[in-house]
Amino acid sequence: MKKQTYTPARSITPEIETLLNKQIVMEGKSSAAYLSMASWCDTQGYEISAEFLYKHSEEERRHMLKLFRYVNAAGGHALQPEVTGIKHEFKSLREVFEQVLFHEIEVTKSINNIVDQCLQIKDFATFNFLQWYVNEQREEETLARRAVEIFDIIGEEGVGLFMIDQEVGKLEAYAARVSGKIGTDRG
Ligand SMILES: [Fe+2]
Ligand SMILES: [Fe+2]
């Protein structure tokens, strides 16, 4: 096994620090992407979807900040990510939610990879810290999958898109119900 470089000043290795900084980039990009989607929804009159995405953008920023604080508390240096390449236009509301789903799946893979690395080098503190993200991703994927399903259930013809927008407002309650929670502890 590779030599680990824990020191009295740091409880995470530089390798884990790098991975956590990459995760910071992902959460920062999620926040920016969802904000852009929210804005597009606003311009198209999808008010409830816009609210849903504005709120999610804020949540993603909180996910990023939680990582910032952890990295610095563990003796590393959290880096403000450069966020570029944000998409501003979308073909349809369905495209927006499909992209949310694909994006969340990528985030889950990234979290799982860091969790795996932590186990390999026995960094149980970071492993433990990341369990919050493991649970969060399970919920966020459920939410995003349900959002995409709504398009198939209702259909986009006629008043369909109006109804889909209304249903998006019920997604949080749905995710809480299927994950067996009464309220939510979304971070
Ligand atoms: Fe996140
Ligand atoms: Fe997310």
In a domain, 116, yes or no: yes
12-60 pLDDT, tens digit per residue, is: 999 999 999 999 999 999 999 999 999 999 999 999 999 999 999 999 9
SS3 158: coil
When divided into structural domains, the chain yields a total of: 1
Annotated binding site for Fe cation: 27, 60, 63, 104, 137
Tell me how far the alpha carbon of residue 81 lies from the centroid of ligand 2, in angstroms. 17
In a domain, 4, yes or no: no
Closest CA to 97 of 135, 151, 136: 151
Please report, for the domain that includes residue 124, its CATH number: 1.20.1260.10
Tell me how far the alpha carbon of residue 66 lies from the centroid of ligand 2, in angstroms. 13
Tell me how far the alpha carbon of residue 180 lies from the centroid of ligand 2, in angstroms. 19
DSSP sequence for 101-116:
HHHHHHHHHHHHHHHH
In a domain, 48, yes or no: yes
Say whether pTM exceeds 0.85: yes
Q: In terms of DSSP H, where are the helices of the chain?
A: 14-44, 47-73, 93-120, 124-154, 160-168, 171-178
Tell me how far the alpha carbon of residue 30 lies from the centroid of ligand 1, in angstroms. 7
Task: State the sign of the Cα–Cα–Cα–Cα dihedral 127, 133, 139, 142.
Answer: negative
Residues around the ion ligand 1 (C-beta < 5 A): 27, 60, 63
pLDDT at position 180 over 90: no
% the chain with pLDDT above 90:
76
Range of the domain at 36: 14-178
